[in-house]
Amino acid sequence: MSQLNGPYVAIARNSSEGAHVHFGNEPRDSEAADIEDNDLFEGSTQLTDAMEVADSDTLYYGISLGTRRRMHKGRGFWVTVGLLVLVSVVGMFWLYFDGINWMQRSKKRNVILMISDGFGPASETMARNFFQQTNNLSIGYQSPLDEILVGSSRTRSSDSLVTDSAAGATAFSCRLKTYNGAISVTDDKTPCGTVLEAAKLQRGMATGLVVTSRITHATPGAFSAHTLSRNMEDLIAEYQIGNYSLGPVVDLMFGGGRCHFMPNTKPEASCRMDDRDLWADAEAAGFRTLSSRKEFDALDTADAKLLPLLGLMAPSHMDYEIDRDSKEQPSLAEMADKALRILDTSTKNKNAGFFLMIEGSRIDMAAHTNDPAAHLRDIIAYWDAVAVVRKYVDEHPDTVMVSVSDHETGGFSVAKQLTPEYPDYLWKPEVLKPVRHSIEYISSQLLGQPSGDSRETKYRFVRDTVFPDWMGIKDASHQEISGVAEEADSVRLRQLLSTAISDRAQIGWATHGHSAVDVNLYAYGKDAHVLRGNHENTDIGQFIIDSLGLDLGLITSKIKGERVVQQTTSIKEAWLGRRDIDAPEHYPHIH
């Protein structure tokens, strides 16, 4: 048979090639499919042979030759459709099981967690009432927090209905319940990976901690260390500069607590129990260090090479807002603003954003002392920080901020019954306005009076300075004055001062410790609506994990053998389990 032109070539049954049909030069398994006789044959003999093949093929397949040819021409279309369907199905399965997480991980995100330690719902009411009334604002005034209220958080720990700050912060950082006093360890006392560690190692994010307490305190410690007890602040400091298997994971730290980084060979500056110089170790590890307001102000937030940065501007806790000298220490809002600018610069040209924890630490400590004026002023300072963060979120839509308390402190009430008679329905915000110092400051000044001073000298000091000038009380009784002047015990003295202010303002306290009340939950920015409603505190940790696509289990597996016990003796917590309250008296040698 002669060679034919065109794409279809038929080989007759008696051909040496075995009576197969070819498409171009490619063999096919049909003997007659796709033959068009008017294109292929020129002679009757060839036509007869081809028709025989076609008839045989029709009998074999049950389909006519023309029909099979048209089906072959449409086969490419249906193969394409089939492939598209297969890809779509596989794609949907991938999106469902892993794709959404991958997309979340691939997007640049910033998460800012703000913690108002010890700040309960009644304290927000008190601060709002005070601010509205003393500034002659409308009754409908809303604070920067009121405007972004989304729900509430339950606060219990694994071993008590009343949590402490360590277990409360661990619920946020590790997304699990643990016992009171635990710093990012589980109930069985093994380390648990934190959202800060995972953000750094899994997402390559910049990380920061901004507090007004010691940086080694319970809340910042729970994001950056792993210890069996919150008292082990020397060990927490070691973690924070990277002395463990994960290395340095905190890029920026602002706050107080410098004494836990200084060797005890420098007794005027140290509260460590050993001679390790972690300040020098931090510098050797590449940290830029600063310890003064002047150095803080000099930081160039446009410098992308500032990190890692350790700025501790007080030996122990930073001062209460009511006592703070703005020339010596920055406010929480100023530290938050500078931290945001630095972290923004450091991540500007990167795919990863940052995780920042900001704590209004001393709201809690004022409530422990039942000090309404110090409590109030630190709440308002926290509002200022919230306003700074909200402005940043407005300018960066890839950012979410969450504000929540770890617990309520003081069992605070915005009313107090003073007599057995049925009480008046009122409280007096104006009583708090003229108070100029915290009870902590006043008590330290009173207890620091020269021991040789006569009772009369102390009485005049309390009558002429403490009550009228520092506390704004013009009607102090002889009994109140003499009681304060003669008291030598720190706890009883502070109670006398608290009662003098609180009774006049008609506000109440149920405890010097914490309470089990639910706390307010606030959120602003990307996906903030997810937190609407009432949540366990661990849900806040889960929200951060979901927002950033983190796997805390992987971090936990890497740190399971880390040291969780401080080698030296830890400083025991004193007054009502809170040595923080008496920090200036516990560390009288630190300047």
411 Cβ contact list (under 8 Å, min separation 6): 509, 510, 511, 515
**Measured between alpha carbons, how far is 46 from 37 in angstroms, rounded to an integer?**
9
**Measured between alpha carbons, how far is 141 from 91 in angstroms, rounded to an integer?**
51
Residue 184 structure tokens: 């990012």
In contact, 321 and 361? CB cutoff 8 Å = no
108 Cβ contact list (under 8 Å, min separation 6): 347, 350, 351, 352, 353, 398
Helix (H) or strand (E) holding 255: strand 252-256
**For residues 46, 48, 53 and 55, what is the CA-based torsion angle, rounded to 10 degrees?**
150
In contact, 15 and 50? CB cutoff 8 Å = no
**Measured between alpha carbons, how far is 329 from 314 in angstroms, rounded to an integer?**
8
**Measured between alpha carbons, how far is 230 from 224 in angstroms, rounded to an integer?**
12
* Residue 258 burial (CB count, 10 A): 26
In contact, 386 and 144? CB cutoff 8 Å = yes
Please confirm, yes or no, whether 165 is among the known catalytic residues.
yes
In contact, 251 and 308? CB cutoff 8 Å = yes
Residue 23: closest CA among 61, 75, 62: 75
**Measured between alpha carbons, how far is 23 from 7 in angstroms, rounded to an integer?**
6
| 3-state secondary structure (DSSP) of residue 191 | strand
Per annotation, catalytic residue among 116, 153, 157, 165: 165
**Measured between alpha carbons, how far is 313 from 291 in angstroms, rounded to an integer?**
5
Q: What is the rounded radius of gyration, in angstroms, for the C-alpha atoms of the chain?
A: 36
For the stretch 576-582, contacts whose Cβ atoms lie closer than 8 Å and that sit 24 or more positions apart, written own/partner, are 576/368, 576/491, 576/512, 576/513, 577/164, 577/513, 578/365, 578/368, 580/213, 580/214, 580/217, 580/317, 580/365, 580/368, 581/365, 581/368, 581/369, 581/440, 582/490
Q: Active-site residues: which are they?
A: 165
